[in-house]
A = this chain, B = another copy of it.
Amino acid sequence: MNLILLDPKDFIDSEHVILKGRRFKHLILVNKVIKNARMICGLLNGKIGTGLITSVSHNCIEMDVCLDYDPPPPLPLTLVLALPRPKMLKRIIESATSLGVKNIYLINSWRVEKSFWQTPLLNQDNLLKYMTLGLEQGRDTVLPKIYQKRFFTGFVKQELPLIAKDSLCMTAHPKASNICPAGLNKKITLVIGPEGGFIDIEVETLEQSGFLSYHIGPRILKVETAVTYLISRLYS
C-alpha cells in the first residue's frame, strides 16, 4: 500500500481519521507501521498528503492527516477492452488504474466467452475493490469510470465515435500493417481485442468508425501484458 485511500467516513474531525478492517490489517502486517510513522494518504477523489500515525491499537489506527496537494494527472487515454476472462480482468482493472487510466469500456466481441459476462466481478462493489487496490498502488485518489457494453456493433457505430471525439482513435491488432507509434502523449482512444483477437468484420467496423489498426511487432502479447505495454509505448 503506497497510499492510504481515505473515505469521508474515516474522518472523526477535519484532520483526524480512524482506520479499521482491511486497511488496518494491511498497514500492520505488510507495511509494518508503528506509532509516529508517516504514510502518504489521499482522500477518495480528492487531495493527497501525509498521515502521522498517533496511535495503534489491536483493531485500529489513528492518524493526523494533512492533505494539501493534487493527485497525479490522469492519463488522457480512454481504454476500450473486449471483456477479458475474470482472473485477468481483476489484474487489468488494478494495473490500468495504477497507470492512471480513468475511463474503461468493457465491450463484447465474437471471441468473448458469454460466461465472462456472468462473473460477479462485474458488480460495482467488486470493480471498486480492484480500482481501490490500483489507486493504493499507484498513489492516486481518482476512481476510474468503468462502463459495460454488451452490443459490439451498436456501441462501435453509435456510441464510440462520440466517446472518442477529439482523440486519436486506435485499435491494437496483431494483423495490422502499420506499427503502433510511440511517444504520442496526446488524447487517445485505444481499443484492445480479446485473446485470439477481433475477427475481421469487427476490425472493419472499427475502421468505419475511424479506428485504424496498429500492431506491436511479431510478438503476440497476453491482453494484460498488452494493456501495460501499449500505455507505456503511447505515453513514453
User: Does any Cβ of B come within 8 Å of A236's Cβ?
Assistant: yes
Q: Are A219 and B138 in contact (CB under 8 A)?
A: yes
Q: With A and B bound together, what is the CA distance between A230 and B233 in angstroms?
A: 10
Whole-angstrom distance between the Cβ of A151 and the nearest chain B Cβ: 25
Q: Are A232 and B228 in contact (CB under 8 A)?
A: yes
User: Does any Cβ of B come within 8 Å of A99's Cβ?
Assistant: yes
Q: Would you list which residues of chain A between 56 and 105 have a CB under 8 Å from chain B?
A: 72, 94-95, 98-100
Q: With A and B bound together, what is the CA distance between A131 and B140 in angstroms?
A: 34
When distances are taken between beta carbons in the complex, the residues of chain B under 8 Å from A231 are 229
User: Does any Cβ of B come within 8 Å of A220's Cβ?
Assistant: yes
User: Does any Cβ of B come within 8 Å of A173's Cβ?
Assistant: no
Q: Are B137 and A220 in contact (CB under 8 A)?
A: yes
Q: Are B138 and A221 in contact (CB under 8 A)?
A: yes
A217 and B137 in contact (CB under 8 A), knowing A95-B222, A183-B236, A232-B228? no
Interface size on A, residues (CB 8 A): 27
Q: Would you list which residues of chain A between 179 and 213 have a CB under 8 Å from chain B?
A: 182-183
Q: With A and B bound together, what is the CA distance between A215 and B218 in angstroms?
A: 29
Q: With A and B bound together, what is the CA distance between A218 and B70 in angstroms?
A: 12
User: Does any Cβ of B come within 8 Å of A54's Cβ?
Assistant: no
User: Does any Cβ of B come within 8 Å of A126's Cβ?
Assistant: no
User: Does any Cβ of B come within 8 Å of A55's Cβ?
Assistant: no
Q: With A and B bound together, what is the CA distance between A217 and B235 in angstroms?
A: 12
Which residue numbers of A lie inside 8 Å of B, CB to CB? 2, 72, 94-95, 98-100, 137-140, 182-183, 217-222, 225, 228-233, 236
15 extra interchain contacts, Cβ-Cβ under 8 A, other than A138-B221, A139-B219, A236-B236?
A72-B218, A72-B219, A98-B222, A98-B225, A99-B225, A100-B219, A137-B222, A138-B220, A182-B182, A225-B228, A228-B228, A228-B232, A229-B232, A230-B232, A232-B233
- Between A and B, 26 residue pairs with Cβ closer than 8 Å are A72-B217, A72-B219, A95-B221, A95-B222, A98-B220, A98-B222, A98-B225, A99-B229, A100-B219, A137-B220, A137-B221, A137-B222, A138-B220, A139-B218, A139-B219, A139-B220, A182-B182, A182-B236, A183-B183, A183-B236, A225-B228, A230-B232, A232-B233, A232-B236, A233-B236, A236-B236
